Amino acid sequence: MKNWPVIVILFLSSTLVAGAYNDHRGHNLDSLERVVAAWTPDAVDRATTEALVDLNRACRDLMLGYAVINGEKCMFYARKALSISHPRQWHSADSDAYRYLGQQFYGREQYDSALFYYRAALGSVTAMATATSPTNPDGYSEREIDDNRSALYGAIGNLYNMMDSIPQAMEWYGKAGEIFEKYGWDESNSVLHYNMGETWVDEGDLHQARQEYDLALSYAEASGDSLMIVQAWKGYGRLYKELGKTRKSLSYLRKADAYYAAHPDFSPKFRTENLDNMKEVLSRQKRRLGNLAGCLTGMFLVVLSFFLRHRKQKTRSGETPASEPVPAPADVKPGADAPHLTKREREILDLLAKGYTTAQIADAVFLSHETVRWYRKRLLGKFEAANTPELISRAKESGSI
């Protein structure tokens, strides 16, 4: 599953230039709702501009407060805010409401609707360049407009990213990056390029991902923001995991985890992602070590088998092994009265004549001790000998050795 772009956090927290209205997410939203509900359509029609500005801000406070905890209410109050701001051409307020509507549809994966509202928000931001509002009668500065515009560029880039339209996503990310570069917003650029690196990893273009992570780290270091630096480390950890360089991957992931562990209140989601990557890398290392051990064991068995087979072949062909030499064939031909001996009996008789013990003979000819004793007993019978010395003596007399 594709990772949700981290950059959405940055863009949602971008400056809202219509006025610094209150954030009621930590307050009693019910009481604020009762205030807004008291406004009837007739009261809105008779209200002064100042009162409508307050009402619009209250609706946007509720929109913001419910953005995470109740999507339906967030959308309801966004539309209520638009019903006040849009007829009066308060473009900055329109942009806020459109943006949050787009974000709600984005979260529901209704991307066509999200794109519609994001583009509507972008149109409102463009209109801010030649407009004023009751909260900003002097108009909006280029920096304020660019701030809002970059937020929407990034949001649209995220949208195309989730739709797997990577060229379009990179085009919109690039537009946001140009604005960040224009004002030297290094932290924003770091988040942007980290997000682009994550996208390229998802797409399998690890070379491009490395370039984006390098930029993310460069901007993070320029900003001095430790969190941004850690995010870049996290990206490198994922990159090297995909490259199969587990040792380097763990090095970065552990550094990132140490930071997340020391800042538990920041974002558990980031640490969870990092720990998941660490778990996968350690699992790969374990499998790799297991495969290596299996390969080495297999190679050892093959070499051992070859060595034993070669040694046995040398013994059978009459060659002398390195540790237990086999005597060369006898030059003396047996006499007419010598008993008939098999090849194995003659081999064992020759070793007995050399003074080999039963154990040494067994090792030399690859037989068990019991089998060697059985051959020795047959040789004693054939030569009518009572013991080994007598056997050797009679064998020499008959020319058998």
By three-state DSSP, how is residue 136 classified? strand
Last residue of a domain, one of 183, 209, 224: 183
Last residue of a domain, one of 183, 199, 226: 183
Of residues 345, 336, 353, the one with CA closest to residue 382? 345
243-277 b/e with 16+ CB inside 10 Å = b?
A: eeebebbbebbebbbebbeeeeeeeeebbebbeeb
Structure tokens at 267: 């974002």
Q: What percent of the chain has pLDDT over 90?
A: 61
Last residue of a domain, one of 183, 214, 242: 183
pLDDT for 281 equals 87
Structure tokens at 135: 């909260």
In a domain? residue 338 = no
Q: Supply the CATH number for residue 366's domain.
A: 1.10.10.10
In a domain? residue 297 = no
- List Cβ neighbours of 96 (8 Å cut-off, separation of 6 or more): 16, 18, 60, 63, 81, 121
Asked if 19 and 136 count as a contact pair (C-beta separation under 8 A), the reply is: yes
Asked if 118 and 159 count as a contact pair (C-beta separation under 8 A), the reply is: yes
In a domain? residue 39 = yes
In a domain? residue 241 = no
pLDDT in tens, 276-302: 888 988 888 787 777 776 777 767 777
Of residues 161, 183, 66, the one with CA closest to residue 115? 161
Distance CA 65, CA 208 (A): 38
CA quadruple 194, 200, 205, 209: dihedral, nearest 10 = 0
Average pLDDT over the chain reads 85
Q: What is the mean pLDDT of residues 310-328?
A: 53
pLDDT in tens, 148-170: 999 999 999 999 999 999 999 99
Distance CA 239, CA 200 (A): 10
β-strand partners of 133 = 136
Q: Supply the CATH number for residue 94's domain.
A: 1.25.40.10
Distance CA 151, CA 309 (A): 74
The number of folded domains in the chain is 2
Q: Residue 18 pLDDT more than 80?
A: no
pLDDT in tens, 192-224: 999 999 999 999 999 999 999 999 999 999 999
Q: Write down the pTM of the prediction.
A: 0.63
In a domain? residue 167 = yes
In a domain? residue 172 = yes
pLDDT for 291 equals 74
Domain range for residue 48?
A: 7-183
By three-state DSSP, how is residue 261 classified? helix
pLDDT for 334 equals 59
pLDDT in tens, 62-90: 999 999 999 999 999 999 999 999 999 99
DSSP state for residue 14 in the 8-state scheme: S
For the chain, the straight-line distance linking the first and the last C-alpha, in angstroms and rounded, comes to 83
pLDDT band of residue 314 (cuts 50, 70, 90) is: low
In a domain? residue 108 = yes
Q: Residue 252 pLDDT more than 80?
A: yes
How many other β-carbons are positioned within 10 Å of the β-carbon of residue 86?
Answer: 17
In a domain? residue 229 = no
Q: Residue 250 pLDDT more than 60?
A: yes
How many other β-carbons are positioned within 10 Å of the β-carbon of residue 314?
Answer: 14
